[in-house]
Amino acid sequence: MGTLYTEDKQHGLRRLPAVSRILQDERVQEAITEHGRELVVDCVRETLDRLRARLKEGETVPTDLSSVVQEALQAVERWRTPTLRRVINATGVVLHTGLGRAVLAEAARRAVAEVAQGHSILEIDRDTGERGDRIEHVRELLRRLTGAEDATVVNNNAGAVLLAVTVLAQGKEVIISRGQLVEIGGAFRMPDIIAQSGARLVEVGTTNRTRLSDYERAITPDTALLIRCHPSNFRIVGFSEEVPAADLASLAHRYNLPVLDDVGSGCLVDTGRFGLEHEPTLQESVQAGCDVVTCSGDKLLGGPQAGIILGRKEIVQRIRRHPLHRALRVDKLTLAALEATLRLYLNPEEAVQEIPVLRTLATPADDIKRRARRLRQRLQAILPGAGITVRLREGESAVGGGSLPGQQLPTTLVCLRLSDGNAQRLARALRWQEPAVFTRIEQEEVVIDPRTLLEGEMETLVQAVARAVTQCLGGEANHA
Ligand SMILES: *Cc1c(COP(=O)(O)O)cnc(C)c1O
């Protein structure tokens, strides 16, 4: 076909302003002062390249100086604006992995800010002035809260399991029930982790039932470890049976073998008090005699992303000396947040008050209903009278984050319906507000669950909904 342009295209290409001309523009000069020459010049060049390509495709694009300058400056702005930003979680999923799981307690946020602002006593022994160990900031706390002999922390729970299995069973066999060979979202698959650690997987039992005798029959001189894994994100109901941790630990100890229990969520308080089923706690797993217990820091524990490892002193010491422990090291900001979160648990009532995950789970249905009514009232006052309806409906919130699957908390939902029934469009418009709002779609409605709104977010949400609805209806909202 060759590169024969129509006259129009040629004309458009010729009309694009030259780089030198654009750089003389006053607004561009200002941008150079503010953002530096290199970024601005690159953005101008890239903008021209983009426009040229579109002209060659036969598109009609504005080629006047002012339009080109504006587009280039928008590109500069995009580079300078962080994309990882705060959003409003109106999904009702308390631990939403896509939205960053646990919101940190105020004490944890303050600890992070303080450690970020200056130098910190991360790895120095105050007494001797010698190099110390960063884990010391949380080790005693974890021991006290869980009853474990010893503890350490790594980057996340996937890392904790990989590290523990590597240390305890590399080159040997590990036994696990077929009912616990789980996949947790984001590519954590127990069989893959075991393979990666260099251990050989020995599956026992069936998907729905595994008995103690199944484990016992599989033990050989090559066995190094028995693994339990909490099936965090699914449930097997009906004709099912699994071996309690204490029984598995007794069996393992008779054969001089350790048990690793991956409890997943890292719960330290009884979830029964929130009207939920009882989630196994870290204390219970330690008490049951499991030799190594691992969990995440940012699920029900309500802290930062981290992998907590509890266990017998001798095993935790070996874990701490392994090169992978160094490779998976937690940073000071994580440690600061984790330490502050754990200190709240020293008074469990304070923990439930102060840790957002627990407070959100503990919010009574009546309080949520009041919030939902207030939200509906504010929305009805601000939204246009036509094109959108707002109604309340009884519904359910979810714990999320691979915790307490299938367990739901009663809530009152605020449902928005556009008269054209296009819920996807409204949900998308909400995601592009500043701050972005994330909702659920159910029965062609955009559904807002007030349970996961944080303090002070209600009015921001109302304004964001008003803007999004206005955009969808192509009209004006009454910003009273
Ligand atoms: C969530 C979960 C993991 C993965 O934890 P991360 O901290 O996300 O790495 C591993 N095992 C279980 C049982 C889990 O629930």
| Closest atom of ligand 1 relative to the 306 alpha carbon | 7
Q: Cα of 302 to ligand 1 centre, how many Å? A: 14
262 within a domain of the structure (yes/no)? yes
CA distances to 150, 202, 257 from 161, in Å = 16, 17, 17
478 within a domain of the structure (yes/no)? no
Token duo for residue 170: 């590399």
Question: In this structure, are 158 and 36 located in the same domain?
Answer: no
Residue 373, Cα to own-chain centre: how many angstroms?
29
Question: In this structure, are 405 and 380 located in the same domain?
Answer: yes
Task: Please answer whether residues 448 and 90 qualify as being in contact, where contact means their C-beta atoms are separated by less than 8 angstroms.
Answer: yes
Q: Cα of 194 to ligand 1 centre, how many Å? A: 14
Pick the last residue of a domain from 286, 319, 354.
354
Helix, strand or coil, per DSSP, at residue 445: strand
Q: Is 307's C-beta closer than 6 angstroms to any atom of ligand 1?
A: yes
CATH number for position 468: 3.90.1150.110
Question: In this structure, are 217 and 311 located in the same domain?
Answer: yes
CATH number for position 229: 3.40.640.10
Q: Is 280's C-beta closer than 6 angstroms to any atom of ligand 1?
A: no
469 within a domain of the structure (yes/no)? yes
CA-nearest residue, atom 1 of ligand 1: 264
Question: In this structure, are 57 and 136 located in the same domain?
Answer: no
Q: Is 296's C-beta closer than 6 angstroms to any atom of ligand 1?
A: yes
Q: Is 179's C-beta closer than 6 angstroms to any atom of ligand 1?
A: no
Q: Is 445's C-beta closer than 6 angstroms to any atom of ligand 1?
A: no
112 within a domain of the structure (yes/no)? yes
Question: In this structure, are 220 and 330 located in the same domain?
Answer: yes
Phi-psi region of 100 (alpha: psi -120 to 50; beta: other; left: phi over 0): left
Pick the last residue of a domain from 328, 354, 380.
354
Question: In this structure, are 452 and 392 located in the same domain?
Answer: yes
Output the pLDDT for position 297.
98
Please name which of 265, 333, 372 lies closest in space to residue 113, comparing C-alpha atoms.
Answer: 333
CA-nearest residue, atom 6 of ligand 1: 157
466 within a domain of the structure (yes/no)? yes
Q: Cα of 479 to ligand 1 centre, how many Å? A: 44
Q: Report the number of distinct structural domains present in the chain.
A: 3
User: CA 265, 269, 271, 274 torsion: positive or negative?
Assistant: negative
Find where tokens 């960053």 sit.
100
Can you tell me the distance from the alpha carbon of 283 to that of 303, in angstroms, rounded to the nearest whole number?
A: 17
Q: Cα of 187 to ligand 1 centre, how many Å? A: 10
CA distances to 89, 93, 185, 251 from 97, in Å = 11, 9, 9, 36
Pick the last residue of a domain from 296, 320, 354.
354
Residue 74, Cα to own-chain centre: how many angstroms?
30
CA distances to 4, 51, 325 from 62, in Å = 22, 9, 56
Task: Please answer whether residues 297 and 305 qualify as being in contact, where contact means their C-beta atoms are separated by less than 8 angstroms.
Answer: yes
Q: Domain limits at 457?
A: 87-95+362-473
Question: In this structure, are 112 and 71 located in the same domain?
Answer: no
Output the pLDDT for position 3.
46
The pLDDT profile of the chain, 480 residues, written as one tens digit per residue, is 444 445 556 666 778 999 999 999 999 999 999 999 999 999 999 999 999 999 999 999 999 999 999 999 999 999 999 999 999 999 999 999 999 999 999 999 999 999 999 999 999 999 999 999 999 999 999 999 999 999 999 999 999 999 999 999 999 999 999 999 888 876 789 999 999 999 999 999 998 899 999 999 999 999 999 999 988 777 777 778 889 999 999 999 999 999 999 999 999 999 999 989 888 999 999 999 999 999 999 999 999 999 999 999 999 999 999 999 999 999 999 999 999 999 999 999 999 999 999 999 999 999 999 999 999 999 999 999 899 999 999 999 999 877 777 788 999 999 999 999 899 999 999 999 999 999 999 999 999 999 999 999 999 999 999 999 999 998 544 444
Backbone angles phi, psi at 223, to 5 degrees: -70, 135
Q: Cα of 295 to ligand 1 centre, how many Å? A: 7
Question: In this structure, are 21 and 119 located in the same domain?
Answer: no
Can you tell me the distance from the alpha carbon of 148 to that of 146, in angstroms, rounded to the nearest whole number?
A: 5
Question: In this structure, are 431 and 449 located in the same domain?
Answer: yes
Residue 431, Cα to own-chain centre: how many angstroms?
17
Q: Is 229's C-beta closer than 6 angstroms to any atom of ligand 1?
A: yes
Question: In this structure, are 25 and 117 located in the same domain?
Answer: no
Question: In this structure, are 177 and 312 located in the same domain?
Answer: yes
Question: In this structure, are 305 and 203 located in the same domain?
Answer: yes
DSSP 403: S
Token duo for residue 235: 């449930």
479 within a domain of the structure (yes/no)? no
The DSSP secondary structure of 377-388, one letter per residue, reads HHHHHHS-SSSE
User: CA 419, 91, 98, 105 torsion: positive or negative?
Assistant: positive
| Closest atom of ligand 1 relative to the 97 alpha carbon | 8
216 within a domain of the structure (yes/no)? yes
Find where tokens 């962080």 sit.
82
Can you tell me the distance from the alpha carbon of 295 to that of 306, in angstroms, rounded to the nearest whole number?
A: 8
337 within a domain of the structure (yes/no)? yes
